């Protein structure tokens, strides 16, 4: 009986330790994302990219970190790198209309008009407020 109690105590302690470690990683990823967002708002895009890269390393399922890293890359005119990050953000959060919109802009800039139309259409489907894009699409 004593062995069973010790076994369950050990399992319980290990479970608490694993959950604590996981929680500290998520908090760290959140802190780096927040620092990245502050740098992004201040238009320090290379710094934002560095912070978001660390956040992604700590939490690879952080769709917002991919989105804002891609947005930062687009602001630095690294449209191909931005598209890769927007792809990942969309894979993690398929209803993120902003990611489709920004990816569409990156594709438009690279003269991938068909890809841009698909992304803008998807963005409109996610967010009706992007309906003004219909006018933009008709021009191209």
Domain ranges (residues) in the chain: 2-139
* H-helix segments, 42-132: 45-58, 63-75, 79-92, 97-109, 113-126
What's the rounded Cα separation, in Å, for the pair 118 and 104?
8
Residue 86 has what pLDDT?
98
Residue 125 has what pLDDT?
86
10-residue stretch averages of pLDDT, the chain, 140 residues long? 61 46 60 95 97 96 97 98 98 94 97 96 80 58
What's the rounded Cα separation, in Å, for the pair 38 and 35?
5
Residue 18 has what pLDDT?
43
CATH 1.10.630.10 fits 2-139, yes or no: no
């Amino acid at each position: 009986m004593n062995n069973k109690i010790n076994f369950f105590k050990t399992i319980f302690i290990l479970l608490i330790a694993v959950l604590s470690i996981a929680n500290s990683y998520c908090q760290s990823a959140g802190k780096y994302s927040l620092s990245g967002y502050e740098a992004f708002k201040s238009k320090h895009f290379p710094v934002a990219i560095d912070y978001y890269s660390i956040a992604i390393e700590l939490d690879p399922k952080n769709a917002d970190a991919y989105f804002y890293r891609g947005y930062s890359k687009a602001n630095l005119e690294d449209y191909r790198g931005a598209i890769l990050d927007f792809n990942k953000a969309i894979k993690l959060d398929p209803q993120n209309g902003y990611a489709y919109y920004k990816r569409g802009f990156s594709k438009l800039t690279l003269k991938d008009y068909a890809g841009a139309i698909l992304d803008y259409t998807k963005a409109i489907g996610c967010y009706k407020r992007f309906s003004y894009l219909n006018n933009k699409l008709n021009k191209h």
